[in-house]
Amino acid sequence: QVQLQESGPGLVKPSETLSLTCTVSGDSFSSYYWSWIRQSPGKGLEWIGYIYYTGSTNYNPSLKSRVTISVDTSKKQFSLRLSSVTAADTAVYYCAGYDDSSAYDYWGQGTLVTVSS
């Protein structure tokens, strides 16, 4: 069974960079595509991007200029960096994984990140 856990600051100042890490426990780290998905308060789900264990990435075009997702296979972790944040980036950030089914089987519990001075 795969479990995911997000970690990182819950408060980020405007114009700074949001950084989060997701730690994966269980087997099959190299079998999944690992993603970040966010949900603004009271709103729907927004896909941020994914990374494969090889380092291959793809990002949401609307966020691409500000997003970097990286992976550390030795630690079974992947990370999100979102630059130049504003209040609009306040959201619960989820890490999630999908395999050949192309559907997100596994989700972290989510972490609330607030952008405020």
Partner 1 sequence: SYELTQPPSVSVSPGQTANITCSGDKLGDKFACWYQQKPGQSPVLVIYQDSKRPSGIPERFSGSSSGNTATLTISGTQAVDEADYYCQAWDSSTAVFGGGTKLTVL
Write out the residues near partner 1 by the rule CB under 8 A.
35, 37, 44-47, 50, 58, 60-62, 94, 101-105, 107-110
Strands 104-107, 91-98: pairing is antiparallel
Nearest distance in Å: CB 115, partner 1:
21
Nearer to partner 1, 39 or 83 (CB): 39
Nearest distance in Å: CB 61, partner 1:
7
Nearer to partner 1, 44 or 117 (CB): 44
Nearer to partner 1, 16 or 98 (CB): 98
Nearest distance in Å: CB 38, partner 1:
11
Nearer to partner 1, 108 or 115 (CB): 108
Nearest distance in Å: CB 18, partner 1:
19
**Is there a contact between 60 and 49 (Cβ–Cβ < 8 Å)?**
yes
Beta bridge mates, 18: 82
